[in-house]
Amino acid sequence: MDTIEQIPVADELFRWSDDGADLIGSRCRGCGAQYFPKSLSCRNPQCDEKAVEPVLLGRHGRLHSYTIQHYQPPGLFRMDPFTPYAIGLVELPGGLRVMGMLAGCGFDNLRIGMPVELSVDVLYRDEAGREVITYTYRPGPEGKAS
Amino acid sequence: MRPVYVLGVGAHPWGKFPDKPQLHLAIEALSAALDDAGLGWRNLQGLVAASSRFEGGMGWGLHANEVLQAVAEIGVPAVNVGGGCAAGGIAVHTAASMVASGQCEVIAAVGAERMPKGFIPRPPGCPDDITDTDYLRWVTMGATNPVYWALEARRRMHDFGTTAETLAAASVLMHHHAAANPLARYRKECSVEDVLNSPAVADPLHLLEICAVSDGAAAVILGSEEQARRRGVPLVEVAGSAIATGQFGDPAARIPTVSMSAVGTAPHTSEVVGAVRGALAQAGMEPSDVDFVELADNTAWHVLAWPEFFGFVEPGQSDWMIEHGQMGIDGKLPINPSGGFLSFGEATTAQGVLQVCELVWQLRQQAQGRQVPGARVGLSAVLGLGANGASVVLKA
């Protein structure tokens, strides 16, 4: 069976395998502040060290808020076929909040505070037949998000 | 530093003007403001323009030197300021600073904009990689601007029990105010049912709860006390003016970022809160001294949330204020007697200048049909892309 090649929608943003998906961010060695995506510098004004290093952010979080995108966004965003979808704001342990598409959950079942887990989903197939994927959050197990 | 006064204000009506370049809109607004001040172009000792990216020669957006070269080659300093949608407020602040410092006796600030249709697209020339969050928010999730505001609105409903009807009522109030404002683009009254029946754009926000984009222009002439007294009209003083940027740990879902570190003690929407606090401090005033507010209501959520962020209303209490008419013209804290962004549609850089025009009309008791009774102190607040905020306190 042929395997369809998958490519990320942007480089150096996330990694994935059969084992799961991880967001690639930065962590400051001086103050511990976390950033997504990778940052040029630490932004904490109380931090003088400003030594950021790449870090894999936690896979689990809680849904802080969400919305349903009813209209097809312009140009750069591609999804074939387009259907209305949910976008969530997910709070990770430590306080960083990350926006991302929500998958694997009916709109009516979305609840603020629900545990979610990082995943990846296909947005579209490119001209070379490759699947272009983005990171998503799906309903996750209780007990891992806080 | 010396006191600064408003000598004149003027605006071009908001709408869509495909046959009128941005430069024309700017010149019409400036001409109206100069007429209002009883001054001519030759009396200006400086011009500050709020620049944005959508139109204007040399790729600079609107620029003050372009205006002067087009209509009055008087050789005075031209200053062009950025700051996204806060640029208008930053332009007024810059002009006020140039009078306060003694550099100018008479100066103008102008904002003019013709907006592209629909969702605001990404500007050309930006890198297509993770260093540009505007690129990221589009390709990874197609997060339109309303998505950011919807995330805030949904969270507010969870935190304070805000209902869809109360959000809609905030929009109804803005449209009610605008019905009496000839400068507003959307002047038709609407009901809560109309708002809730309008298309869902980004749940829980409907089309009538999100500001459209418009074309428009506004200008303010500022000057010294001597200049103001020479005019012989009611004096309106710039009691306080401040600009600010975002603070670390601000929990706001800030366009176009895709994450935020909600870890510190920074206030929500800290760039605007910082400017408001700065303007009030300079004026030596408390929120209770302010008679009415003109704020950047990109959505109905802003009408509820911002007065709380500024400390004018206790957290969660704006719902009660709206439900009991207390944010109307006759209420305890009138919000946007002009009709706000929801009724104008946002002409980005012009919006912050228009807010100051409305403060002046109110303080001169010239706001026919929408006059806040006895208004003596007004405050403006505007937010711009890139964590920029501006606020002005005017006093009659």
What is the amino acid identity at position B25?
L
Distance separating alpha carbons of residues B143 and B155, to the nearest angstrom: 17
Residues of A in contact with B260 (CB under 8 A): 96-97
Distance separating alpha carbons of residues A46 and A30, to the nearest angstrom: 10
Map tokens 């001519």 to a residue. B40
Asked if B126 reaches chain A (Cβ–Cβ under 8 Å), the answer is no
What per-residue confidence (pLDDT) applies to B115?
83
Asked if B119 reaches chain A (Cβ–Cβ under 8 Å), the answer is yes
Contact across the interface for B259 and A67, Cβ inside 8 Å: no
Contact across the interface for A100 and B140, Cβ inside 8 Å: yes
Q: If you measure CA to CA, which chain A residue comes closest to B256?
A: A99
State pLDDT tens for residues B231-290.
877 899 999 999 999 999 999 999 999 999 887 789 999 999 999 999 999 999 999 999
DSSP secondary structure of B171-202: HHHHHHHHTT-TT-S------HHHHHHSPEEE
- Measure CA A16 to chain center: 11
Contact A61, A137 (CB under 8 A): yes
Contact A142, A17 (CB under 8 A): no
State pLDDT tens for residues B88-100.
999 999 999 999 9
Which member of B139, B199, B262 has the closest CB to residue A97? B262
Q: Does domain B5-119+210-395 have CATH number 3.40.50.360?
A: no
The tally of CA atoms less than 13 A away on the side-chain side of residue B300 is: 31
Q: Rg (Cα) of chain A, in Å, rounded?
A: 16
Q: What are phi and psi of B179, to 5 degrees?
A: -55, -25
Contact A8, A130 (CB under 8 A): no
Query: pLDDT-based confidence at B118, cuts 50/70/90?
Result: low
Residues of B in contact with A11 (CB under 8 A): 129-130
**Quick one: which of A50, A61, A80 has its CA closest to A22?**
A61
Asked if B386 reaches chain A (Cβ–Cβ under 8 Å), the answer is no
**Token pair of B161 as six digits:** 């029990």
Residues 134-153 of B with CB under 8 A from A: 135-144, 147, 150-152
Contact B23, B70 (CB under 8 A): yes
Contact across the interface for B140 and A33, Cβ inside 8 Å: no
Contact across the interface for A98 and B152, Cβ inside 8 Å: no
Q: What does each C-alpha distance from B11 to B8, B29, B65, B83 come to in angstroms?
A: 11, 5, 20, 20
- Is pLDDT at B124 greater than 90 in this prediction? no
Residue A54 forms beta bridges with which residues? A26
Q: What does each C-alpha distance from B53 to B35, B112, B121, B213, B341 come to in angstroms?
A: 29, 11, 11, 14, 19
Distance separating alpha carbons of residues B91 and A100, to the nearest angstrom: 36
**Token pair of B194 as six digits:** 């109309």
Asked if B121 reaches chain A (Cβ–Cβ under 8 Å), the answer is yes
- In this predicted complex, what is the ipTM? 0.96
**Mind telling me how many Å the CA of B134 is from chain A's nearest CA?**
10
Instruction: Kindly give the confidence (pLDDT) of every residue in chain A, 146 residues in length, as a single tens digit, with 9 standing for 90 and above.
Output: 568 999 999 999 999 999 999 999 999 999 999 999 999 999 999 999 999 999 999 899 999 999 999 999 887 899 999 999 999 999 999 889 999 999 999 999 999 999 999 999 999 999 999 999 999 999 999 877 66
Of the two residues B160 and B58, the one the predictor is more confident about is B160
State pLDDT tens for residues B175-189.
999 999 999 999 999
- For residue B57, what are the contacts with CB-CB under 8 A and spacing of at least 6? B23, B63, B66
Distance separating alpha carbons of residues B154 and A39, to the nearest angstrom: 28
Q: If you measure CA to CA, which chain A residue comes closest to B154?
A: A65
Residue A55 forms beta bridges with which residues? A25
Beta-sheet pairing, B47-50 with B78-81? parallel
Q: If you measure CA to CA, which chain B residue comes closest to A101?
A: B141
Residue B293 forms beta bridges with which residues? B335, B379
**Mind telling me how many Å the CA of B44 is from chain A's nearest CA?**
41
**Mind telling me how many Å the CA of B340 is from chain A's nearest CA?**
24
Residues of B in contact with A36 (CB under 8 A): 258-259
**Quick one: which of B302, B261, B291 has its CA closest to B377?**
B291
pTM for the predicted model, two decimal places: 0.96
What per-residue confidence (pLDDT) applies to B55?
75
**Mind telling me how many Å the CA of A49 is from chain B's nearest CA?**
16
Distance separating alpha carbons of residues B260 and A89, to the nearest angstrom: 10
The tally of CA atoms less than 13 A away on the side-chain side of residue B259 is: 25
- List the domain boundaries for chain B: 5-119+210-395
